[in-house]
Amino acid sequence: MGELSPSAHLDKPFPPGRYPLIVVGSGPGGLQLSYSLSRLGIGHAVLSEDSAPGGMFRRWPVFQRMLSWTKPYTGLQRSSRAYERFDWNSLLADDERQRAVMPALMDGTSYFPSRPEMQRGLETFAERTDIKVRYDCRWESTSLTPSPSGGGQGGAQDFILGTSDGEYRAPIVVFAVGVAEPYRPPIPGLEQVPHYGDFQPVEHYKDRRVFIIGKQNSGFEIASGLLPWARQLILASPSPTKLSVNTHTLVGVRARYVQPYEDAALAGGVIILETTIEAVEAASSGYRVRTRNTEGRTLTMEVDDVIAATGFTCPLRDLPGLGVATFGQSRLPAQTPFWESATLPGIFFAGTITQGSAGLKKHGIPSNSGAVQGHRYNARVLAGHLAETRFGMRLPRPSLPAGELVAHLLSELSVGPELWHQRSYLARVVSLDRGQGITDEGVWPLAHFLDHGGADAVAITLESNGQGNPYPAVYLRKDGAVSEHLMEPNPLLDFRSGDYPRQMQAILEPVLAAAPAPA
């Protein structure tokens, strides 16, 4: 698969005007949402300041290889839902021929796709699913005006997006603009050093002493890449490094980037410091970095280069001024469980920004919404939510015979990719209404199920406590009260046999005993 054809770049769909919904961004989040909206028949425009699909993966990671894997051989059909658990990088499609784009594009040298392979994967998905985007159209400003369909004053409102191509209006706007704007903490002098995104060709660092501020994945990615080039690497930040192999989650530095950690542990050319950086000053042949640790000990180091691997923020432009509350270093927008701004209704989010909707974050473990394998499911759930709440649709909900309920739930827990990738965050919900029968309601944010009441129902998800294998969690709602039931993990990660069917039956019994007879 090569680049898109020139005509695709030049095609300019979605001229300025009013649309039912506008998506801003053409990274994986914007593409997945546009695809899912189109499948539901929801008309929308997609605007992007980029010239082609891919978002940040058109540039980063700087060392040109992804942190998310696509495992080519699993014994599963690549077109199956179950395969999605092992393919973290392909976007989701209903048509089997459009699924699992990534493995066919990878050259077999690694199960982490290269950045160009990831870019090609996103371009291929957009082309095969015929996603239309108005490229080279930069969103520049946002304002509000009474909606023509909302009865004027006091009624519904439209958002006005000022863009490089003109003015757009819509009552709903979904921003999928990533979390990729460089952030520098207010350390004196830090403004003069390059950020992660300004990384020079590796040859620049040959036989040099390099100070990296930040001990997250971006800092360790750079350190890993510079091991064969730099004379000495110093990584520093105030708190200790966590490793993903210890946290059993994506919290912490990934195994791919742990080599500098071992180098430091074995007293090689890497030094890792827990310290506050007080200032960065220009020196005769580079920089002078002054630090102070929690015991008050100061260190001043002369180095050739300083790199700020200090994180990223959201490019929300004027949205905070319009009322979108943000929080944290990344200035993520505060969101409802369905990824709507918690403070400005009508503004939604897709893609990696959806990590701002934290969910339960049980045991401190976040969702995977910051990565493609997580937020691709958020986008599909969001499309369904918008369809039902804003466009008057009712999505199909299959009925389940009572005799198949336990097997259905245990199958979803064992192979349902939404639950594996979005633990404690997305849940399969089955209503057990005495009047309506047993109905699969689909995948919901777990927080919404727990906090918004409703008829008798069960929600299942997988959870982790940071210590061992994931385990099934069952939330049973009966007469308005929700009870939590945690099952044991299975070392083989399959819950369809053994004692699990009996346990699930016992958990459901209080509601099933009062439910309708089997269909």
Among 41-49, 74-82, 107-115, 234-242, the segment contacting another protein (CB under 8 A): 234-242
* Binding string, residues 1-40; x marks residues near another protein by CB under 8 A: ----------------------------------------
Residue selected from 15, 188, 328, 453 as contacting another protein according to rule CB under 8 A: 328
| Sequential DSSP letters for 176-196 | ---S-EE---S-TTGGGS-BG
- Site for another protein contains 79 (CB under 8 A): no
Residue 518 is classified by DSSP as P
Q: Is the peptide bond before 61 cis (omega within 30 degrees of 0)?
A: yes
| Closer by beta carbon to another protein, 15 or else 364 | 364
Q: Does 507 bind another protein (CB under 8 A)?
A: no
For another protein, the closer CB: 275 or 422: 275
Give CA–CA dist 8/11, Å, rounded.
5
If one asks whether residue 299 binds another protein (CB under 8 A), the answer comes out as no
Assess 487 for contact with another protein (CB under 8 A): no
The yes or no reply on residue 365 touching another protein (CB under 8 A) is yes
Residues that bind another protein (rule: CB under 8 A) add up to a total of 44
Assess contact for 313 and 327: CB atoms under 8 A.
no
Integer Cα distance of 290 and 418 in angstroms:
46
Among 126, 353, 360, 427, indicate the residue that binds another protein (CB under 8 A): 360
How far apart are the C-alpha atoms of 448 and 271, rounded to whole Å?
45
**Using CA atoms, how far apart are residues 430 and 120, in angstroms rounded to an integer?**
38
DSSP assignment letter at 112: S
Out of 49, 136, 165, 274, name the contact with another protein by CB under 8 A.
Answer: 274
Please select the residue that binds another protein; options are 129, 237, 354, 422, rule is CB under 8 A.
Answer: 237
Residue 294 binding another protein, by CB under 8 A: yes
DSSP 35-63: HHHHHTT---EEE-SSSSTTGGGGT-STT
Does 311 bind another protein (CB under 8 A)? Our answer is yes
Give least dist CB 452 to another protein, A.
Answer: 10
Element (H, E) at 433: strand 426-433
Residue 510 makes contact with another protein by CB under 8 A: no
Rounded to the nearest whole angstrom, what is the least distance from the CB of residue 130 to another protein in the complex?
A: 36
Return the residues of window 379-438 that contact another protein according to CB under 8 A. Answer: 424
The answer to whether residue 363 forms part of the interface with another protein (CB under 8 A) is yes
- CA 334-338-339 angle, to 5 degrees, is 35
Stretch that binds another protein, among 153-161, 195-203, 357-365, 504-512 (CB under 8 A): 357-365
CA dihedral 64, 65, 68, 70 (to 10 degrees): 120
Residues 6+ apart with CB under 8 A from 10: none
Q: What are phi and psi of 505, to 5 degrees?
A: -60, -40
Torsion sign (Cα): 103, 243, 204, 192:
positive
The span from the CA of 370 to the CA of 382, in Å, is 16
User: Which residue lies nearer to another protein by CB, 140 or 451?
Assistant: 451
For residue 481, give both structure tokens. Answer: 């009260």
164 vs 467, beta carbon nearer another protein: 467
Instruction: Report, in Å, the least distance between residue 423 CB and another protein.
Output: 11
Residue ranges binding another protein (CB under 8 A): 185-186, 237-239, 274-276, 292-294, 296, 311, 325, 327-332, 334, 336, 342-343, 355-356, 358, 360-365, 424, 450-451, 463, 465-467, 482-484, 486
